[in-house]
Structure 1
């Protein structure tokens, strides 16, 4: 089980490296229309290194799910955000701010507490079709309904809209990750583990691709309209939690333990989620996530103010304009 954790940490580090590499490539090229961007990117070796790192994350995550239950290894996916901050120092010349240090400490402490609660391996239990449809179908229905609400502007305010669409994209991509977890758990080699039928395996592969691609696409569109640090917190937190929820409720991967162990697990999860929130609202990580999820950069990237406070454009314009009763002679004008 410890090997599964190590593999998932390496996969998360690979994802963080990919994020920073793709951001560096995006900052080195002009930002033309999306149709012209990909041909520019594919001619840059560093872009291919970033894509290879992303594939490494996918493969590593799959093997991590083969080696250990989802509730054990999934929290360690938060290491990717720490990796973004660390790799950005030599590759982008950026320095962590105070908030990022606090977020890193919270995540690291939470993961160490989580290590102390590891119990016996929990193999895959026989999946009830009713439970599978209820849980996974319910999550997908939420994605569609919530995204319709987002697109129709039922909820006002950029911060609220960003939080809503973040849960949509995180849930969709989380369902994709949960299907990847099913594929890994189905081949974990545990004699007591249930082996899914071939039809379910094929369905899981198709759903993984569709849900993941849909979530990435919706995230890209959302990041065109909203600052990344409005979307990132709920996206990252939901993406972390959805595979755990599916694993516990559908796959039967519950963890043994008494009151003390479960209290420690809850504390660990709170620390990790809190650290993710702090890191994903920090300017550096939020901007890097925007570049990664948007396919390596796109035109019109929104500036992301630190700590999630965006100054409205109207306020900026009003601040730049002279007061109505100001003396024209007192203002400085260049011609």
Structure 2
């Protein structure tokens, strides 16, 4: 019970810092011209902005708490909890936009909170120390890479929501893979000395993937149509992480008949609330972006 409580606390702390990182880093891209959405110019511009570094620091803090949560809990529980970042991002974004969160948004927020609570209480994941053979991991990573590259190639030929959606899918998939690699890294650190783990490619692959995912996420934010990209990103990531956890780590969810029905209903409610809240978050951000780019 104490371990489960720690998982929830660490995951919620991760969600808070991730929300701050999302909102702050989005602000850093408001006045970047659209034609530089996926380019070295945008990266160079952001690297010169203290606001972007502040948002990145918050995102890194969120990742640290996520790692702590994964060290004590299952991907099946931790990743859905991170969706609660929307509960913190929406009021923060609304405050910065000098607007109030609508009553409808608060109702969706309550639904998301209740659904998450039900999911955490009823989810009984079976966690193993088993990691799939290297051959399987390479195959999974190869498939993920093909999907991500395909999404990026599709995005560079589009604009607006047609660019934002494939980028959001790619980002969600990449961060799902980051979560799985983080879980594996924490398991290795629990079993082996840090020096031995640092001598393997795992931590460096994780850092590289995290940096690439963050930069691509920034491009997704900048692409506009955040009412579509934000919920897409937040729905794809936990789904990808859980599925990858099943294939790579062998995690499963144990539930009896009525628990399975309730869990399914909770997941559907979480998804609907995430999409609704993501659209509200996107609406606030797009309004700010339009104001920043208006001469």
**TM-score greater than 0.5 by the shorter chain:** yes
8 A Cα contact 1:82 1:104, kept in partner: yes
CA RMSD of aligned residues (A): 3.5
2:155 maps to 1:150? yes
Q: Name the structure 1 match of 2:38.
A: none
Q: How many residues align?
A: 278
2:188 maps to 1:183? no
Please report how far the alpha carbon of residue 9 of structure 1 lies from its aligned counterpart in structure 2 after TM superposition: 0.7
Please report how far the alpha carbon of residue 26 of structure 1 lies from its aligned counterpart in structure 2 after TM superposition: 7.4
Please report how far the alpha carbon of residue 229 of structure 1 lies from its aligned counterpart in structure 2 after TM superposition: 2.1
**Secondary structure, in 3 states, of the residue corresponding to 2:16?**
helix
- Distance in 2 (CA, whole Å) between partners of 1:83 and 1:66 is 24
Aligned positions of 1:157-196 closer than 5 A: 158-187=160-189
**Secondary structure, in 3 states, of the residue corresponding to 1:116?**
helix
8 A Cα contact 1:84 1:285, kept in partner: no
Q: Which runs of 5+ in 1 are unaligned?
A: 291-299, 305-335
The list of structure 1 runs, each at least 4 consecutive aligned residues, that deviate by more than 6 angstroms after superposition, is: 24-27, 30-33
2:10 maps to 1:10? no
Aligned positions of 1:288-299 closer than 5 A: 288=285
Q: Name the structure 2 match of 1:259.
A: 257
Aligned with residue 236 of structure 2, among 235, 238, 244: 238
8 A Cα contact 1:69 1:123, kept in partner: no
- Distance in 1 (CA, whole Å) between partners of 2:260 and 2:15 is 25
2:278 maps to 1:280? yes
Q: Which runs of 5+ in 2 are unaligned?
A: 34-40
**Secondary structure, in 3 states, of the residue corresponding to 2:253?**
coil
When Rg is computed on C-alpha atoms for both structures, the one with the higher figure is: 1
Q: Name the structure 2 match of 1:59.
A: 64
